[in-house]
Structure 1
Amino acid sequence: MSSSPTSPPRLHDQDSVPVGSLFSVRHHYVVMVVIALAIAAGRIATVSSREGSTAFLSANDRSRWCTIAALVEDGTFAIDRQMRLKDAKGRRHWQTIDRVQHRGEDGRQHDYSSKPPLFPVLVAWLYWGVNQCTAMTLTQQPIYLARIILALVNLPMLLAFCVATIFSVHRMTSSDWTRRILSAATCFGTMLIPFSFSLNNHLPAASATAVVAALFLWLSGRHGVDTNQRTGDRSGWMPCLLVSLLAGVASGWVAANELPALSMVGLWGLLFLYWDRRTVVGYTMGIGVVAVAFFWTNWMAHQSLRPPYAHRGVGPLVATMDAVEPNLAADAITGPLRSAKALDPQETVESVVDSDEPGRWRAVTNAQRWFAVTADVATDKVAENPVQSASRWRIYQWDDWYEYPGSYWQTERSGVDRGEPSRWTYFFNATVGHHGLFSLTPLWCLVPLGWLIAVAGTWRTDVRDQDGYQLSDDRAVRAMLFAIMIASLVCFAFYMARPKIDRNYGGVSTCFRWMLWFAPLWLLCCVPAIDRVSRSRWGRFTIIVLLGLSVFSMSTALDSPWHSPWLYRYWDFLGWLDG
């Protein structure tokens, strides 16, 4: 008797699952985030300056490191000692051009970092803890100790950026393809990994922005039509207060690191208020906490509520006087200043020197106090040399912290630091040129399309969990995308409207870094576009190409975020750039 054919052995349940399901979307998220963190950690573990003396990559991060070292090692915000430090070969490896100079509490002129002090103060507390545990100082170990602090500061922020952004994308779309593409873009498609191995304000701002977006989507989703059927405690006061408080702190933190982000702070407030009026208390309290810390640290550092970059001119008017011959100016100015009680009894004006600003002199007293002397513009509007030819002078408190002996900002600059004379050229290069948002990160080409699709109302989000409950509110998502569009256009217009000296693309940097904090928001704006375009094979191919080019740009900056973009360097090689 012939034996019946044997049936194939029954596969294990897991083996019978389609291959694509074995590697679930959530597993994909974990792998992407782990790889991104590993890349960042590897670069932090080997980061060093060009000379190999420190782990500082540019004047930008050295400025913050100087404040951190001065606070813990010297108990002061003044960085005079750090400016004098030399390595074994006599090189001043702590030198930074990102500094200001003004009169300190001791009545003498001191150097200070030009960066807002709140972030350096927080890092200084961490440095103090590491110092207590290891007995190492940044002055003695500017390489290994700096790497430890960078890892403790930047890796958690990069993790927060990745997790919060991926969480938001997951709630906005039910397309696994869109989720996978944007998780890869989050981890590798922006310039945030290069900025994760340098101490800067862009990674903190971007990570906090991602957290605010995630909190808003989570809170608005809880108040959707379907989610109200869940347990009543989900819309209670305490969760609402805690979430809105955290959102307020994160939103305020973004503005503390990127001042133009104040526009988005207001828009976030309106969005939270519209979806739940109870959030106004927590959100306002959170912003207030950051605002108090920002102004308090600024006062402790500079005895001023304004950050250093706001001190670029003259202070309050002290006195007016008749103009005199330049060689008699010092003696003549002393009298009006003494009459105005602006001088101490034994204080006199020793010299009046030319200022780097046209139409202004700098009067210096024997107590190292500075005053600004300008023409009375009401009577001398057209004078070629208004100070010397004016009939009257005005004397102000000195408030230009960027003008001092040896200041980089008062010298003839080169490269992008000269400022772009043409606004149209600046607009071109900042969008599709050598510092272009779209040319350096082509994935952002999907952002305007995402705005159009969302605003037109032709895209709906209907994401549900395993129990069938809706995870995101469609109206909230579209309102958020509309708010991001407004803030993006406002901030970009702000930078385009800056005077020539500030039209420098963010200085020597691997991208137009001033808009980098929008990265998590623009990734969310890509969701409608990718959902729509990925319906076709060619659409998916186009999206993959855009992502690949964006990752390519990111990879060109893995040595340091503080050099010109690869496009700028290539154009310079071709001779397309002036000077």
Structure 2
Amino acid sequence: MSEVDPNSKGVRGIYALLIIATLAVVSGRIAVVISREGDTAFLSANDRSRWCTIAALVEYGTYEIDDYLNRRGAKQNRRPWATIDLVRHVGDDGKLHYYSSKPPLLPTIYAGVYYCVANTMGMWLSDQPIYLGRVILWLVNVPTLAIYLLATIFSIDRLSLRPWAKCFLATATCLGTMLLPFSISLSNHLPAAASAATVMAIYVGSMDRKLGFGWWLLAGLAGGFLAANELPALSMTVFFGGMLLLVRREGLVGYTLGVVVVAVAFFGTNWIAHHSLRPPYTHRGNGPIIAARATSPDQTPEATKAWLVEQSLASNSSTVQQFESREPNRRRVLVDGSQQYALIRHPNGSTELRHWDDWYDYPGSYWVDGRRRGVDLGEPSRLVYFANMTIGHYGLFSLTPLWCLVPFGLAGLFRVERREHQLLLAAIGTASIVCIAFYVMRPEIDRNYGGVSVCFRWMLWFAPLWLLSLSRPVNWLSERNWGRGLALLLLAFSMFSVSTALQGPWQSPWLYRFWQFLGWITA
């Protein structure tokens, strides 16, 4: 990169070229995106789960996705809409239905885009899942990517000193993170990163001039949307609020109001879809207790029915069935084909009757022992999990070596002059530690690296924050020839990982596949 006057139009020109090139690359990939079988523009069970909700909302006015799961494609043995990311519970009609396991707010917003497209073009997504899928994907992802790029580069430009460092970090923003592959698929990661970048840009912008209420309201909406798309990112949403309390109190009311608006929308859509304030993926256990017995009674359907009648949960004419569940000491009790209860037998001989709250436990569920495969089995060792998510086959540092500079940037928080900058770096560092610890401490079934994807995707929303934290280290390296060479080497290897994933984000990382080739991974 050539040195240019930081006050000239040269740097901004480079920014424009990088942004346009990145948006063009993503647009081209979306224009030809197609499933492995060639019958939809949906790349995995993860995004199919959201596509089903989007289609069901517009075409049927419901969050129930039953109709799409068994639809056949051009190949009669194919179910192009089928997904493993679903739950089952009782719907408004009192019958059991399938739903996406994803929080409904984002698909509801995207359904609004689909509604406009369908009424403009006169096509249904279920009839044109390739063509219309690409149109919708472009309309939601490309503007979101543009927001992420513009907001992140704006922040970097304000806090980086040398033009070489500015241009380097702009290149890293556009081409050096694993967000780029996720821009050609429907996921929560790109909108989460764009939201984080937006709050960050508004906060950084407030360092030089006073901002009005509207900007802080926008920051709150973005901060709330960040947490709505990545639940652990709630930590950063809170930290942003804390920073405003300390150094920008005039923005706290607008920010809080924006967060509250998104919170109402998040819980409101969740209630409409599931009659629960909790996201569907949190319903994975046993519900409130109904009754208990100190000694274990006969657990035949007849005896269970008598107990249910005693609790006014069934009538003498009800049909009661019992099924095994994914927990060995629990049986799923089905009353009249719709109402479900859990019959739990404890080692001490006592028995509990509970409301059913395991929405992932249904006939044919992928999420039962014996069905899950590969990384979905979960990593038993937390130490191994931590190693693989940082420097191993799904590693933050091994797949994106650029992040190796992040700890140096965060450690230098006391070397920056402005208190606002210090607080921002401290918040980013604390949130990073909190989220890494959160994922390491998850139960074994959740220690799956985010499933089959090109990276440890649950931390992707940190991309704009970590890029900002690189400002000081990259600026320091830019003053030394060997430093520039090292920075370019780290960026080159990061871009290499990105290039291996441009076919789609829902594949194992190149490093994981290489280790399989070497025989280090046999699962």
Paired residue secondary structure (2:249):
coil
The corresponding residue for 2:43 is 57
Task: Look up the equivalent residue of 2:383 and give its one-letter code.
Answer: W
The corresponding residue for 1:228 is none
Task: Look up the equivalent residue of 1:324 and give its one-letter code.
Answer: P
1:552 aligned residue (496, 510, 513)? 496
1:69 aligned residue (55, 68, 74)? 55
Residues in 2 aligned to 1:451 and 1:70: alpha-carbon distance in whole angstroms: 45
> What are the superposed Cα offsets for residues 69-106 of structure 1, whole Å, 9 maximum, x if unpaired?
11111111110110011112111010000001111111
2:506 aligned residue (562, 565, 578)? 562
Q: After TM superposition, give the deviation of residue 241 of structure 1 in Å.
A: 1.5
| Alpha-carbon spacing, 1:509–1:553, altered in 2? closer, same or farther (3 Å) | same
Q: Is the 8 A contact 1:264 1:487 kept in 2?
A: yes
Q: Is the 8 A contact 1:107 1:367 kept in 2?
A: no
Q: After TM superposition, give the deviation of residue 144 of structure 1 in Å.
A: 0.6
2:27 is aligned with 1:45? no
Residues in 2 aligned to 1:151 and 1:96: alpha-carbon distance in whole angstroms: 22
Q: Is the 8 A contact 2:309 2:316 kept in 1?
A: no
More deviation, 315-324/402-411: 315-324
> What are the superposed Cα offsets for residues 426-463 of structure 1, whole Å, 9 maximum, x if unpaired?
111111110000000000001001112223x2x44xxx
Q: Is the 8 A contact 1:118 1:298 kept in 2?
A: yes
Residues in 2 aligned to 1:262 and 1:144: alpha-carbon distance in whole angstroms: 36
Q: Is the 8 A contact 2:161 2:475 kept in 1?
A: no
1:399 aligned residue (354, 357, 367)? 357
Residues in 2 aligned to 1:145 and 1:448: alpha-carbon distance in whole angstroms: 43
The corresponding residue for 2:253 is 281
Task: Look up the equivalent residue of 1:44 and give its one-letter code.
Answer: I
Q: After TM superposition, give the deviation of residue 316 of structure 1 in Å.
A: 1.3
The corresponding residue for 2:131 is 144
CA RMSD of aligned residues (A): 1.5
Residues in 1 aligned to 2:430 and 2:319: alpha-carbon distance in whole angstroms: 51
Unpaired segments ≥5 residues, structure 1: 1-17, 223-234, 381-389, 461-473
Residues in 2 aligned to 1:347 and 1:102: alpha-carbon distance in whole angstroms: 23
2:346 is aligned with 1:359? no
1:493 aligned residue (419, 437, 446)? 437
Task: Look up the equivalent residue of 2:312 and give its one-letter code.
Answer: K
2:212 is aligned with 1:240? yes
Q: Is the 8 A contact 2:88 2:359 kept in 1?
A: yes
Q: After TM superposition, give the deviation of residue 376 of structure 1 in Å.
A: 4.8
More deviation, 60-69/267-276: 267-276
2:80 is aligned with 1:93? yes
2:167 aligned residue (153, 173, 180)? 180
Paired residue secondary structure (1:278):
helix
> What are the superposed Cα offsets for residues 450-498 of structure 1, whole Å, 9 maximum, x if unpaired?
112223x2x44xxxxxxxxxxxxx2111210111000000000100111
Task: Look up the equivalent residue of 1:434 and give its one-letter code.
Answer: H
Task: Look up the equivalent residue of 2:133 and give its one-letter code.
Answer: A
| Alpha-carbon spacing, 1:497–1:24, altered in 2? closer, same or farther (3 Å) | same
Residues in 1 aligned to 2:164 and 2:105: alpha-carbon distance in whole angstroms: 41
Residues in 1 aligned to 2:472 and 2:332: alpha-carbon distance in whole angstroms: 57
The corresponding residue for 1:11 is none
> What are the superposed Cα offsets for residues 336-368 of structure 1, whole Å, 9 maximum, x if unpaired?
32333333x466352222222121111111242
Q: After TM superposition, give the deviation of residue 187 of structure 1 in Å.
A: 0.2
Identity %: 51
2:236 is aligned with 1:264? yes
Residues in 2 aligned to 1:19 and 1:554: alpha-carbon distance in whole angstroms: 26
The corresponding residue for 1:305 is 277
2:512 is aligned with 1:512? no
Residues in 1 aligned to 2:138 and 2:212: alpha-carbon distance in whole angstroms: 33
What TM-score do you get using the length of structure 2 for normalisation?
A: 0.96
The corresponding residue for 1:468 is none
The corresponding residue for 1:13 is none
2:427 aligned residue (483, 488, 511)? 483
The corresponding residue for 1:442 is 401
Q: Is the 8 A contact 1:36 1:188 kept in 2?
A: yes
Residues in 2 aligned to 1:169 and 1:134: alpha-carbon distance in whole angstroms: 40
2:313 is aligned with 1:342? yes
The corresponding residue for 2:205 is 218
1:427 aligned residue (386, 390, 394)? 386
Paired residue secondary structure (1:50):
coil
Q: Is the 8 A contact 1:347 1:365 kept in 2?
A: no
Task: Look up the equivalent residue of 2:343 and give its one-letter code.
Answer: V
Residues in 1 aligned to 2:58 and 2:88: alpha-carbon distance in whole angstroms: 20
> What are the superposed Cα offsets for residues 294-330 of structure 1, whole Å, 9 maximum, x if unpaired?
011111111111111110011111122342233xx32
2:183 is aligned with 1:201? no
Task: Look up the equivalent residue of 1:86 and give its one-letter code.
Answer: R
The corresponding residue for 1:571 is 515
Q: After TM superposition, give the deviation of residue 411 of structure 1 in Å.
A: 4.2
Task: Look up the equivalent residue of 1:252 and give its one-letter code.
Answer: G
Residues in 2 aligned to 1:31 and 1:498: alpha-carbon distance in whole angstroms: 42
Alignment of 1:303-342 (within 5 A): 303-321=275-293, 322-326=295-299, 329-342=300-313
Residues in 2 aligned to 1:488 and 1:347: alpha-carbon distance in whole angstroms: 57
> What are the superposed Cα offsets for residues 508-528 of structure 1, whole Å, 9 maximum, x if unpaired?
000000000000000001111
Residues in 2 aligned to 1:337 and 1:346: alpha-carbon distance in whole angstroms: 10
Residues in 2 aligned to 1:324 and 1:219: alpha-carbon distance in whole angstroms: 67
Q: Is the 8 A contact 1:510 1:557 kept in 2?
A: yes
Q: After TM superposition, give the deviation of residue 121 of structure 1 in Å.
A: 0.4
Task: Look up the equivalent residue of 1:554 and give its one-letter code.
Answer: V
Paired residue secondary structure (1:94):
coil
Task: Look up the equivalent residue of 2:205 and give its one-letter code.
Answer: W
What TM-score do you get using the length of structure 1 for normalisation?
A: 0.87
Q: After TM superposition, give the deviation of residue 280 of structure 1 in Å.
A: 1.9
Task: Look up the equivalent residue of 2:516 and give its one-letter code.
Answer: D
More deviation, 359-368/182-191: 359-368
More deviation, 268-277/122-131: 268-277
The corresponding residue for 2:344 is 374
Task: Look up the equivalent residue of 1:428 and give its one-letter code.
Answer: A
Q: After TM superposition, give the deviation of residue 23 of structure 1 in Å.
A: 6.7
Residues in 2 aligned to 1:119 and 1:497: alpha-carbon distance in whole angstroms: 27
Unpaired segments ≥5 residues, structure 2: none
Q: Is the 8 A contact 2:3 2:163 kept in 1?
A: no
Residues in 2 aligned to 1:72 and 1:46: alpha-carbon distance in whole angstroms: 25
Query: What is the total number of aligned residue pairs between the two structures?
Result: 517
1:112 aligned residue (82, 87, 99)? 99
Paired residue secondary structure (1:409):
coil
2:103 is aligned with 1:121? no
Residues in 1 aligned to 2:339 and 2:160: alpha-carbon distance in whole angstroms: 61
Paired residue secondary structure (2:74):
coil
Alignment of 1:532-547 (within 5 A): 532-547=476-491
Task: Look up the equivalent residue of 2:10 and give its one-letter code.
Answer: S
The corresponding residue for 2:472 is 528
